[in-house]
């Protein structure tokens, strides 16, 4: 292992933490990056999880797309780097 490798995972790791907040799966949602306009599923975001919160970055330009901090009695969700999210809705 490279000691200095930038260890990240991907947006699949957000499935549980986001499913705690939303009633539908959010990893299939397609987001658009505010910075580069790139589009892709939440599952494909680069996620830095070894941090005080979860930080999801654009796989193309590294812009911070999403931050999720979970405290004992509150969760903070920051989406300022995401222009929009298209969320597939399961049939009723």
Cα-based angle 54, 21, 56 (whole degrees, multiple of 5): 25
Interatomic CA distance for residues 79 and 15, integer angstroms: 16
Interatomic CA distance for residues 87 and 24, integer angstroms: 8
Residue among 4 and 91 whose Cβ is closer to other proteins: 4
The verdict on 89 binding other proteins (CB under 8 A) reads no
- Annotate each residue in 6-45 with x if it binds other proteins (CB under 8 A) or - if it does not, as one string: xxxxxxxx-xx--xxx-xxx-xx------------xxxx-
The verdict on 61 binding other proteins (CB under 8 A) reads no
The verdict on 57 binding other proteins (CB under 8 A) reads yes
């Amino acid at each position: 292992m490279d000691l200095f490798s930038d260890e990240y995972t991907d947006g699949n790791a957000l499935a549980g933490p986001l499913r705690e907040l939303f009633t539908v799966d959010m990893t299939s949602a397609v987001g658009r990056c505010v910075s580069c306009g790139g589009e892709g599923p939440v599952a494909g975001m680069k996620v830095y999880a070894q941090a005080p919160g979860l930080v999801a970055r654009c796989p193309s330009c590294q812009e911070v797309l999403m931050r999720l901090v979970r405290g004992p009695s509150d969760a903070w969700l920051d989406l300022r780097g995401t222009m929009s999210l298209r969320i597939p809705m399961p049939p009723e």
